[in-house]
Structures are given as C-alpha cells and as structure tokens.
Structure 1
Amino acid sequence: MKSYKRDGNNRIVYSKDMKLIELIDADYELLSILLRLDIQLPFGDVSVEEMCRRYDMSPTLFLMICQVYACADFEPDVESLQTSDLRHIISYLRASHRFYLESMLPSIAEGVERVLESCDAKQSAILRRFYESYAEEVRAHLHYEESVIFPHVESLLNGSAAKKNMSDYMAHHTDICDKVDDIKSIVIKYLPESCPTHVRCDLLFNLFRMRDDLSKHTLIELKLLTPMVIAEERRLQQ
C-alpha cells in the first residue's frame, strides 16, 4: 500500500487534493460512503475536490464524514462547515438508513436463518425473537429520525422556527448501538456445536459491521448535525 502523510497521532491526513483512488486505498471501508452518496465508478484519477464539485458537495464535509469513519478518536470541527451543508448531512443520513434497511438488515436476517438450520425449536425461537426485537428497534429508531428529526431540520432550513428544539428531540432519541450484544452472545456462547463456525462467523461479521456503522451514524448526528441545528435555531430566534 502507498505511504500517506500522517499527523502527530499517526493518522492519515485526508485532503481535498488526494485522488479518490488514494482515499479508498488508504481505507477501503470508505467505499460504503461512496455507495451511499451514489458516487459512480469508474472515477479515474479524479481528486476529492473534483469529485465533490461534480456531485455538488462540500469537500470539507465529505472529508469530515470520511474521518468520522476512519479515525476512532476524530473530533469534527463544525465551525468549518456552512449551514448549507446541513442538507447534505441529512441526505447522507437518509442514504445510510436505506443502506441499513435494504442491505445490512436483510444480510443479518439471512445469516440468522442459516444459523437456525442447525438449532432445535427452542433455540430457534429464542434467537429469532432477539433478532426480530433488534430489527424492530432499528426500524423504530430510523423512523423517528425520518418522521421527526429530519423534517425539523428541513423546516429550519426553510426559515421556519419550531415549537420544540433539537435538544428536546434528541433527548427522546434512543441509542441502539449496543442492542446487538444479546444476539452476539447467543451466537457465540449458546448455539449447538452442530452449527458450523463459518456460518456463525458470517453472521457475527455482519452484526459487528452493523453495530460499528450505527455508532458512526450516531456520531455524525451528535457531533455534526445536532450542534449545527442548535446554532441555526439560535440564529432564527434572534
């Protein structure tokens, strides 16, 4: 792999001058961001800045989202963003919702069914109940964002002040990142030996990916979306 410039904490320095292929080479997990932003392959030797111009997106915001995923201890600087970036943040979060509902949850459901082929009726009922409860919590969490939080943000961007503020909405917003732990424990500790290890691992990989991605999703909401919305609320109240 190519050697990339790093900061004092040994983290790769992402810049708008990097070629998009270099960005992906530095961390292939960032491919999922391109997928959600509907950035089409092939993109040749285009730079991050050129790609963002082509897709009408702020390079600063794009790189900030990339760093949220690539750097565990990254602290976004929202002061460097513009109010107009809020629409792109909402668009990205909505794309993530579709990714969870149309790709990740179905993959987990398929993995659960494969695991259940080796289980007796009692074990199957327990695991299926835990999965269905988890999937329902994820759907409810995403629905709350789609039906309450995002419309609130869009209303603000259209210049309308709301009766409630972002802090009120987020106070009633549950954290689902750790809800997957019960399923993981069952798969790792309690299923019969007749359940093949590779089948369990396939399911576990998807469960870990879902948990980690949801944690990044939550970080974007808490560290980017929420402070920017609160600032816009204050501006409209002046």
Structure 2
Amino acid sequence: MDGYCLRGEMEEANKVFNLMIFKGNLPDVRSYSILINGYCKCRRVDEAMRLFDEMTQRGLIPDTVTYTTLIGGLYLTGRDVAAMELFKEMSASGQPVNVVTYSTMLDGLCNHGNLDEALELFQVMKDNGLIPNIVCYNIIIDCMCKSGRIEDAREIFSSLPTKRLHPTVFAYTIMTNGMCKEGLLNEAYGMFRKMEDNGCLPDSCCYNTIIKGFLRNKDTSKAMQLLEEMVNRGFSADASTVEMILNMLS
C-alpha cells in the first residue's frame, strides 16, 4: 500500500486497504496515516480528511505523524485556517508536537506570506524546549529574504554556527538570492565565494541563482565569468538562465 501511495496510485492503494479490511485485518493508525499521506501528496485533501474522521470514529487515535501529514496537505492546498485549527486540535489532544510538525507549520505559514505568524510560532517552539534544526532556520531565512528583510535574514544566518548548525547549500542559495534581489551584488558574490571556504560546494541551483542575479543587475561580465566556471564544473544553465542570456544577446 505504501508503494502505491508513494507513486500516487491511490485507487490501487485503496484496493489493498479495502482488501485488508475484507480479510478481517482491521487497519491501524499507521495504515490510515500511509493512505492519508498518499492523498495529501496528490492534493486530494478531502479524501484525506474523510479517512481522518473515519479512523477517529473507529476509536483510533491519530498520532503525531497523522496530524503532521494532514496539516501539510491542508497547507499544500491553500487551506491555511483549517491547517491552523488542526494544529491547535493536535496540541490540545496531547499528541507530541515535534520538530517536523513545527517545520511543516512554518513552511505552510511562510509559503503563504505569514512571516510574523511564523516567527511567533518559531518562538513558541523554542519556548517549549524544542531545538529548531537547519530546515526550520532555512524556512525562516527564506521567508525573510522574500519579505525584503535581508538584514534580519543575515543576522539569523550568521548565528547558525553558534547554534552548532552548518549552513547548507540551500541556505547559501537563499541568502545569495536575497542579496541579489536587493542589489547587494558584492555581498552576494562574497557569500558565494565564502561557501567553499566553509566546506560547502555550490551546486547547479546556486550557480544559476547568482548568475541570474548579475544578469538582472546588468553585470554581464561577472555573469559570463560565473557561467564559464559553472560549465567547467560540470553544471549547466537552467531554462530561465538561458532565456535571460538569449534576451541579453538579442
């Protein structure tokens, strides 16, 4: 059943689920959670909610995985209010709210532009004794950059080593992109070069991000230099980078 769900073949997964019941094997919380996860990934959240209600009617208690999965599905389909209500229900039910649950909530809030609400929840998480991981920090930094709060993002990014967290390639890419959008090209380039000094090699996405930043700001010389370097390292320009280069040459 899990394999079908991972491939998005929900009709087949349902057949296995119903066959299990037909043979007298009543589904447990894990079985329901697998099916709910499959529906959420396919954005079929109404079916996921129906299963959630069905399992509680059968006397099964949704666990942390079940709640977190459904919260993620609700945010994925733009149902912010329902996601927050379910999170509150989860907290009230006594189910442990772990780092994955909080990162799911933070991601949902930030994807819908609710940075202030995300920051409040981030603080609640820490007040409750949970230690945010690099995923949580990346989500907050990304949202700050997209909201134009580059200095706040820079402050959090710079504090990561003091929290024994090492910035990932994704974290560097977020910061580089944010600086480029604010026109801080020298700082973006400095951070890009700092990556390797800190043992973090830039990937294709990171190269494309900074190249597009220089192209947007009309610094074609630096963009071409980085493009050549990227190709020499075995990476290639993505579709949007190629389009910008072609527009520049036309």
Q: TM-score, normalised by structure 1?
A: 0.29
Higher percent of residues as helix = 2
Indicate the structure (1 or 2) with the bigger Cα radius of gyration.
Answer: 2
